[in-house]
Amino acid sequence: MQKKSEEYRKDTYTHIKYLKGVGEGRARLLGRLGIHRVLDLMEHFPRYYIHRQIDPTLHKVKPGDHVAFTANISWVERRKTKSGKNILSAGINDMMNTLVCSWFSIPPWLEKILVPGNKIWVNGMVSE
């Protein structure tokens, strides 16, 4: 039994850079988070969890709320600002209320996904 606990201690106290796929560069980045050993990585927890609601209730959403839910896309619009930047907006609804989502940095694949009638999972901060 003593041998197993020694092996466990040896494995968990191994420097993080020896994990497959980590290396020196990523080990430095993880070190900024206080992760230096395998055990540190095992004990590192995220700051918050995203709760994916199945039945969104948009009428309860207030500015400043962090929301994550699935909704239907009702419309999509692309427009240019005076400076020439593109803004992509989409109206999403839960069959009762509509919320407008805007993207200021538009990856090429996003417009193919944002089609009226499709369902989309959104996550972000609500503003007015």
pLDDT higher than 90, residue 10 = no
> What average pLDDT is seen over the chain?
83
Edge-to-edge strand list for the sheet holding 66-80: 98-103, 86-93, 66-80, 119-125
Average pLDDT value for residue range 96-125: 88
3 state DSSP class of 32: helix
Instruction: Look up the pTM and report it.
Output: 0.57
Q: Domains of the chain (ranges plus CATH)?
A: 2-42 (no CATH), 58-125 (2.40.50.140)
Residues in CB range of 9: below 8 A, 6 or more apart:
none
Report whether 32 contacts 16 (CB < 8 A). Answer: no
Residues 63-99 have pLDDT tens digits of 888 888 888 999 999 998 899 888 999 999 888 888 8
